[in-house]
Amino acid sequence: MGRRAEKGAGAIYRFHRGELLRLYAGVTIPNAICFSPDGATAYFTDSRKGILHRVAVDPANAMPIGDPSTLYDHRGGAGALDGAVVDAEGLIWNARWGGSCIDVYTPEGERARTIRVPATRPSCPVFVGRNFDRLLVTTASEGMDDRAKAADPQHGMTFTLDVGAIGRPEPRVRLE
């Protein structure tokens, strides 16, 4: 994305065996990039547009197979889709920037549950712990003035939540 989130200045890339390939251009705020447990589906959003996309990918190299489709349309909803992670069952855990929560979506696009976060701008969830059974959530203060920060005293903090789910380790990036 552009340094100031300029409209359409970003893109989504695929990095595989040292090769960088632009997949989707004209993205304002690329976010929520994550993969199903079997590696056959990728998810992503442009936070500015509010649509969580899914696209079939080749599990061997993450190259898209076909065009992205809408998994969940959040346009008009409170807050914005931000960072995401997929758990061991294939549920997508998406931080809702400005919404003080993490929304959990099924692979079919239904919102399964919402978990409250004690700060207004959650930005990225990740499963942590020996058994990946806790959800770590970062939050931000980007764009907040002093008044907004005073109203949200836990802005910019990182929280560890017990959410009753099991995550999985993130795949390793291979440079070769």
- Rounded CA-CA distance 161/116 in Å is 10
Query: What are the CA-CA distances from residue 24 to residues 9, 128, 145 (Å)?
Result: 11, 30, 33
With bands split at pLDDT 50, 70 and 90, how would you rate the model's confidence at 171?
A: confident
Query: With 90 as the cut, is the pLDDT of residue 95 above it?
Result: yes
pLDDT of residue 111: 97
Catalytic residue among 46, 82, 87, 103: 82
CATH 2.120.10.30 fits 10-161, yes or no: yes
Domain definitions of the chain by residue range = 10-161
Say which residues have a Cβ less than 8 Å from residue 143's Cβ, sequence separation at least 6.
none
73 a catalytic residue? no
pLDDT in tens, 2-23: 777 778 778 999 988 888 999 9
- At 66 the pLDDT is 92
Indicate the pTM of the whole model.
0.94
